[in-house]
Amino acid sequence: MRISLVQGDITLQEVDAVVNAANSSLLGGGGVDGAIHRRGGPAILAACRELRASRYGRGLPTGQAVATTAGELPARWVIHTVGPVHSTAEDRSELLASCFRESLRVADELGAASVAFPAVSAGIFGWPIGDAARIAITTVRTSPTTRVEDVRFVLFGQEAYTAFEQVLHGEAGAG
């Protein structure tokens, strides 16, 4: 598996699957979620509403992942995952790691060979970027997934890009 970093907008990535940093409602929000629904069009929201009506009446639990169409995005699927809100009272790293593992498991089920991830939980959900980068990269590196060949982290700004670069290339001080 090849892991690469891109600075830019995840909605423009030509990959099999784009991962969305969603919330449990699956009905949209700000950040990456807002951008994906805006650019992907109403088919994504329609598919999310169906998932709420069928499998996830109480919402998608934190740490889990589920796929829908990618609508008008240049991808085949959107994999929605729900990151944990950052907490100083409690270590929620395992839930954040689960987002990456579960997204890759869903990608594997779909037969997606290329997957683009955002820095899940590192925006509105308040996760410190260095920590988010360490958990994201470590989890993907140690994931037992078989068919995903290309994992691309798409980072919005220079700070996020640098944090991921430091972890990927093993430099100290990414925290």
By annotation, the residues acting in catalysis are: 33
Query: What tokens does 103 get?
Result: 């997204």
Interface with ligand AR6, residue 35, by CB under 6 A: yes
Helix/strand/coil for 58: coil
> How many residues in total does the chain contain?
175
Among 104, 160, 168, 174, binds ligand AR6 (CB under 6 A): 160
- Does residue 100 interact with ligand AR6 by CB under 6 A? no
Nearer to ligand AR6, 32 or 168 (CB): 32
The total of other beta-carbon atoms located within 10 Å of residue 8's CB is 13
Q: Per CB under 6 A, does 15 bind ligand AR6? A: no
Q: How far is the CB of 19 from ligand AR6 (least distance, A)?
A: 10
d(CA 31, CA 124): 7
Q: Does residue 115 touch ligand AR6 according to CB under 6 A?
A: no
CA distance 26 to 47: 10
117, 156, 161, 164: which one contacts ligand AR6 (CB under 6 A)? 156
